[in-house]
Amino acid sequence: MDDRHFAQRLRERERIVGYWVMSDNPAAAERIAAAGYDYVCFDLQHGLLDYTGALRGVMAAELGGAVGVVRVPANEPAWIGRALDAGARAVIVPLVDSPRDAAAAARACRYPPAGTRSYGPARSGLTVGTDLRGADERVACIVMIETREGLSNVQQICTTPGIDAVYVGPSDLSIAIGGANPQVGWEMPEFDEALAAIRDAANSAGIACGLHVDDGCAGARGLADGFDFISISSDLGHISALAAKHLRETQS
């Protein structure tokens, strides 16, 4: 996929499918990208990789034909700027509770006067270019709705200028609505109501809404339910599941 169009495709709400990576394994990331995913997201919040791992991952994803996205550890300008300087075409910002939080994330993604991003395109200058306005247009700011506060403020978050998409963190959201653990929360009717409220708020604001899912079947259901983009599972989750499956089959 031509990386130039990723932010545009997201804003135009095309169907986009990505994959989630939590380990520092560039060779695996390249293979995942080559499978045909639109993007590969490298998780700096909960993943087992550091900034250098995310940088290598973004580069590997591009070699495989996908776009590199980074979930930053926190809504902090330094982390957002570093991810974008590394060449990420989008950042996913966790734990956004309010329009104020959303506005801060959006500002950190754009250069002045639109935002507060510091100029130092160490690698992004080779990918999205050095033109300030062009760079602003070619990266996307995605914020996560995963807390009770974020859910309460979702309409205002979705209409915050500079926010290109919202993304559901299903585990934290399920706990926030009262689940004793994610699995319990996902079965609660309140969880489906929360998903619908987030999706409806994004639709009303005219921005994309994404969802993290465990597998391809759940991804297909998410797209059918009206989500615009989907992230599939994680490399560690799939390794564990497939390794256990092969062991059971061998021992049966």
For residue 247, how far is the Cα from the chain centroid? 32
Catalytic residue among 5, 46, 212, 246: 46
* Alpha-carbon gap, residue 9 to 134, rounded angstroms: 16
Q: What are the start-end ranges of the H helices in the chain?
A: 6-11, 26-34, 51-63, 77-85, 99-109, 124-127, 132-138, 148-152, 154-158, 170-176, 182-186, 189-205, 216-224, 235-251
Under 8 Å CB-to-CB from 173, ≥6 apart: which residues? 145, 146, 147, 151, 185, 191, 194
Q: Are 36 and 1 in contact (CB under 8 A)?
A: no
Under 8 Å CB-to-CB from 149, ≥6 apart: which residues? 97, 98
Residue type, 90: A
* Alpha-carbon gap, residue 44 to 142, rounded angstroms: 15
Only one residue has tokens 């580069």, namely 59
Tell me, yes or no, if 46 is annotated catalytic.
Answer: yes
The residues assigned a catalytic role are 46
